[in-house]
Structure 1
Amino acid sequence: MGELTFAGIDGIVILTVFAIIMLVIGYYSGRGEKNIHESLSGYYLASGNLGIVALFFTLFATQYSGNTIVGYAPSAYRTGFSWLQSISFMTIIIGVYLLFAPRLYVIAKKRNFITPTDWLQHRFNSKGVTLLAIFLMLWGLGNYLLEQLVAIGQAVSGMTGGTIPYQVAVIAFVLVMLAYEWMGGMKAVAFTDVMQGIVLLIGILAFVAGGVYLAGGSFGSITQFIAENEPAKIAVPSAEVNINWFSMLILVGLGASIYPHAVQRIYAAKSEKTLKKSFARMAWMPLLTTGLVFLVGIIGIKLFPGLEGNASEQLVGVMANEIATINPFFYWIMIIFFGGIVAAIVSTADSVLLSFSSLISNDVYGKFIKPDASEHRKVMVGKIIGIIAIFGLLWIAWNPPGTLYEIFVLKFELLVQVFPAFVLGLYWKRLNSKPVFWGMVLGAIVAGLLTFTGHKTVYGIHGGIIGLTLNFIVCVGGSLLSSASLKRDPVLEEDLNAVYIKA
């Protein structure tokens, strides 16, 4: 992220204040509410009572992590105007949500679902489908959590001018996160999301304003500079870049919409009306967040030309140092803003960890190891395994495997393979468990082989999309050819008839 050489002790003070606020929120979220720790729904879904403000901001925090600011601005700097795709693929996520979220919500509320795979088990009644989906979702969550741990270390170390080392920063804020999440569960996570969301929105507006001021006061001068000095960054993208753009739209749109922690926020909504209103407001957020971050990268091209590789990854911090010198107002806004970035990263990490532990406690432990365990015991198992998992990832975070953007892409390649089973199952009665299972298996194998052998894209198409195409072919073709009976148990049949468009 780059060091804020101006911050020093002020940065440490702001970070301490944010950490204390998070702990206070966690304490009051869990205080006097025994149900939070005694039931899966209470701890992981805030008992399904999130109102429109909390739901909106927790959806906002789920979609926009520390990677949005720390990782996307450098990508825009290196790529140029073709990085406008970041706005469109954040927008398409909302469209995909609306494709299935209202339907899923109706069934989830009726059947008291806790995790995404509760729906898959209810729909297909197949251990194979459920276990494979659990693995792919845990893979996606593990990668996402790793991304946030890396971002926490970079953000805190950069904000304090290196006074707090990377490793110390990660451990300190992981402990803060574990403490307030342990106390308040989903309720604490949602309320911390409200705090960091407000700070981020105000801070990014000030950041862009300061950057424009330093760059000459107008976007016209910025684009003219780019046209004269780096014309490739405003040129019409090549065919392969355009193909890659559409591939990324599909990969992110389908993959991010079935993030386990995003799906659980659908379950946690107080009502279907609350859910739809929150999504309606979320439709504007790509312009106010990803769009402004894109502008940060474009402004940086003029302010700091010639940055390459790791140097470009430090763009946000380098720009903040310059903006802070404008006047005392911008100085404190930058410090508070970067404190908000840290809080946002931690807030995203807590959502991922909460979902990770819910899959372990409700799905792995509760469905396959000890189905007769009490809900309190399942919650405790999830908490403990979550702690073990996060510290297991810390040693990887000491030496991060690539840029944040590379980590970001990696997690979708396998996670997106769950999409056909998850969403197509809401629309098509004939979809059969065996083709769904083998579609996921083959799609994941193809995506994994391409990704881990260095072929992240083939002619601009991501390996995950190639695997997903095969996945859909197997799911649909196999279901059409299947002679298996379409009869279902009365409970499932009632749910399907309530939400399906007849196919």
Structure 2
Amino acid sequence: MESVELAFGGTSGIVVLLAYGGLMLAVGLITFLRNRNIHESLDEYYLGGRGLGVMVLFFTFFATQYSGNTVVGYPPTAYRIGYQYLVSVPFFIMIIAVYLFFAPRLYAMGRRFSLLTPVDWIDIRFKSKAVTILAATLMLYALGNYLLEQFVAIGQGVSGLTGGTIPYQVGVVFFIVIMVAYSWLGGMRSVAYTDTIQGIALLFGVFMLLIGSLIYFGGPSAAAEVMRSEAPEKLGAPDAGGIANWFSLLAIVGIGAAVYPHAVQRIFSARSEATLKRSFIRMAYMPFITAGVVFLVGIIGIAAFPGLTTGESEQLVGRIANALALEHPVFYWAMILLFGGVIAAIVSTADSVLLTFSSIVSNDLYGRYVDPQADEHRKILIGKLVGLVAVVVLVILAWYPPSTLYQIFVLKFELLIQAAPALMLGLYWTRLNTRAVFIGMLAGTLLASAMTFSGLRPFGVFSGLWGLLLNTAVCVIGSLLFGVSRAERKHAETVIGEY
């Protein structure tokens, strides 16, 4: 950090922090005052009354999908890998493709059965305590992992974009307190409205970052000259192993991000199926506008700051923003807005994850198995308190981050995608055997975990995909071999047969 000039030092950074925090708190307070009964209804608190319109739904999908990892973590990865990281653009397209495969049908199920979480759907479809608890555990693990990622990104974003004036730990604690406060006040409505503000700020910020980088650092052509002389491998096409890694990454991100529990909850929050589809149409353009832009920023950074170590490159966005702020007053103020936009993107993902984490605890575990007679107000309260405990534990872990953002990002998908066969195949196949689903999910989880801990990646394919392959094979072959009982078949036809 010694080489970073303090363009945002002192008053400017602190003013942005306070202004952004105050705005988010105001949104939460206004939402609470306008919906006083929000804490009495699970639908109101966790799904915004199932009434989100096209633009709010689009921006809450956008702000959730393009998180702090996208803005803070992707440029450093492009910096280290070079043009091979162009794969970061199409894997966002894959997410939309997977959504379109199952989201409209799951939305119909959500309306029919008043589903609150993806675990709700799995429980109604299979009527198995073992399957439900295992799926909930996998999703809670992934959500906790994702929260940790966002907390690390908050600290790195604040520290980098203020040139170290605001310490990493201070940034983490400040924004977590703000996030918890407005999420508790307004639930999903508060989260969705702040996501809209955050999504607009993010779009403006990253485009100004790209424009400034093109003007002052020479663009991709200057970066190509640096790579040609110092790191020619960053210009080359991937080898066979690299191509396998590309397809592996496309599959694990496309499936994993589409079955994020907090993303699935947004499917249930849509006002109508038409609203959901129109939001997805808008989302189809965003990989080029967002992931493509931050990829270019990472490539340009190779010329702007050559020779950074892995640890130093994690602060790349902050270094570029600080350098641009020193060049011209317009970019000084633009980078201050970028500072707000980057932190906004991070917090917008964290608030969604925390809300969904709480909903799975309160509805799927506490409300279903611990105290089925509890009223909705009590369920919401339990979800909040358990979520708060999880936040405290994760803040302790984030205090000294265990890994780079990219490594944390990949890790969470290894186990989350093991819930995909139950979630997706269960929507279409009435002969899916419940026992085969449980054994497949458990076997895939154990294989993916063992391969991850041992570092095994045959053919460059992520361990989670090997687990998913075993998982799906057990589900399909087990169902074909053993079939389903007459009662299971009748239940499945009752649930999905009309669709």
TM range (shorter): over 0.9
Matched, 1:285 2:283: no
Indicate yes or no: 2:103 matched with 1:124. no
The one-letter amino acid of 2:112's match is K
Deviation, structure 1 residue 174: 0.9
2:35 to 33, 36, 48: 33
Q: What whole-Å deviation, never above 9, does each CA across 1:231-256 have from its counterpart, x for those lacking one?
A: 21111211001101101111111111
- Change in 2 beyond 3 A, CA 1:104/1:408: same
Q: Name structure 2 gaps, 5 residues minimum.
A: none
Change (3 A) 1:137 1:99: same
Structure 1: distance between partners of 2:41 and 2:69? 32
Q: Distance in 1 between matches of 2:108 and 2:136?
A: 22
| 2:268 matched residue in structure 1 | 267
Determine which of 14, 18, 22 is the counterpart of 1:16. Answer: 18
Query: CA distance change for structure 1 residues 432 and 342 in 2, over 3 Å: closer, same or farther?
Result: same
Per-residue CA deviation, residues 52-94 of structure 1 (Å, 9 max, x unaligned), is 1110000001111101011100100111111011001111000
Select the residue among 151, 154, 177 that pairs with 2:153.
Answer: 151
TM-superposition CA deviations, 1:382-434 (whole Å, max 9, x none): 11111111011111111111101000011000001000110011121111110
CA shift, 1:138, in A, is 0.3
Listed as ranges, the matches of 1:42-191 within 5 Å are 42-191=44-193
Q: Which residue in 1 is equivalent to 2:345?
A: 344
SS in 2 for 1:161: coil
TM-score between both structures, scaled by the size of structure 2: 0.97
Letter in 2 for 1:27: L
Kindly provide the amino acid, as one letter, of the partner of residue 475 in structure 1: C
Residue equivalent to 1:458:
458
Give 1:252's aligned residue.
Answer: 253
Higher mean C-alpha displacement, 318-327 vs 439-448 = 318-327
Aligned CA distance change for structure 1 residues 317 and 140 (closer, same or farther; 3 Å): same
AA paired with 2:214? Answer: V
Alpha-carbon contact 1:113-1:267 (below 8 Å) kept: yes
2 CA distance for matches of 1:39 and 1:166?
37
TM-score (norm 1): 0.96
Moved more, 407-416 or 320-329: 320-329
- Mapped partners of 1:3, 1:429: distance in 2: 59
Contact 2:5/2:323 (CA < 8 Å) preserved in 1?
Answer: no
Quickly say closer, same or farther: Cα 1:486–1:280, change in 2 above 3 A.
farther
Q: Render the CA deviation track for 1:444-501: whole Å, top value 9, x for unaligned.
A: 001001112233x2221100011110001100000001143244487753441232xx
Partner residue, 2:449: 448
Corresponding residue for 1:426? 427
Question: What are the Cα deviations for residues 345-391 of structure 1, in whole angstroms up to 9, with x where unaligned?
Answer: 11111100000000000011000000111011101111111111101
Which range moved further: 125-134 or 336-345? 336-345
Q: Map of 1:279-318 to 2, 5 A cutoff?
A: 279-318=280-319
Asked if the contact 1:151/1:345 (under 8 Å) is kept, the reply is yes
Matched residue, 1:478: 478
Name the SS for the 1:363 alignment partner. Answer: helix
- Aligned-partner Cα distance in 2 for 1:483–1:166: 55
Q: Is the 8 A contact 2:201 2:344 kept in 1?
A: no
Deviates more, 1:391-400 or 1:26-35: 26-35
SS at match of 2:498: helix
| One-letter amino acid of the structure 2 residue matched with residue 297 of structure 1 | G
Q: Which residue identity is paired with 2:354?
A: L
Distance in 1 (CA, whole Å) between partners of 2:172 and 2:230 is 39
Q: Is the 8 A contact 2:160 2:319 kept in 1?
A: no
Which whole-Å CA distance do the structure 1 matches of 2:385 and 2:180 have between them? 10
Mapped to 2, the partners of 1:160 and 1:486 lie a distance apart of 64
Paired residues, number: 497
Task: Determine if contact 1:4/1:320 at 8 Å carries over to the other structure.
Answer: no
Distance in 1 of aligned mates of 2:169 and 2:236? 41
* Distance in 2 separating the partners of 1:295 and 1:257: 25
When residues 226 and 486 of structure 1 are mapped into structure 2, their CA distance, relative to the original with a 3 A threshold, is farther
Code of the residue aligned with 1:284 in structure 2: it is Y
One-letter code of the match for 1:470?
Answer: L
Aligned to 2:417: 416
Secondary structure at the aligned position of 1:307 is classed as: coil
CA distance in 1, matches of 2:395, 2:301: 32
Counterparts of 1:325 and 1:486, CA distance in 2: 72
Q: Could you tell me which residue of structure 2 aligns to residue 320 of structure 1?
A: 321
In structure 1, the partner of 2:392 is 391
Distance in 1 between residues matched to 2:325 and 2:60, nearest whole Å: 29
> Unaligned 5+ residue runs, structure 1?
none
Say which SS state the counterpart of residue 426 (structure 1) adopts: helix
Cα displacement string for residues 163-202 of structure 1 (whole angstroms, at most 9, x for unaligned residues)? 3222222111111111101110000000010111101111
Report the alpha carbon displacement of residue 155 of structure 1 after superposing the two structures with TM.
1.4
Is the CA contact (8 Å cut-off) linking 1:90 and 1:286 kept in structure 2?
Answer: yes
The one-letter code of the counterpart of 1:186 is M
| Range moving further from structure 2, 485-494 or 435-444 | 485-494
Checking the alignment, whether the CA contact within 8 Å between 1:4 and 1:159 is kept in structure 2 is no
Q: Which amino acid aligns with 2:273?
A: E
Taking the aligned partners of 1:423 and 1:491, their CA distance within structure 2 comes to 17
- 1:109-168: per-residue Cα shift (whole Å, max 9, x none)? 111111111100111111111000000000000000000111111112223332322222
Distance 2:332 2:167 in 1: 22
In the TM superposition, residue 5 of structure 1 has moved relative to its aligned partner by 1.3
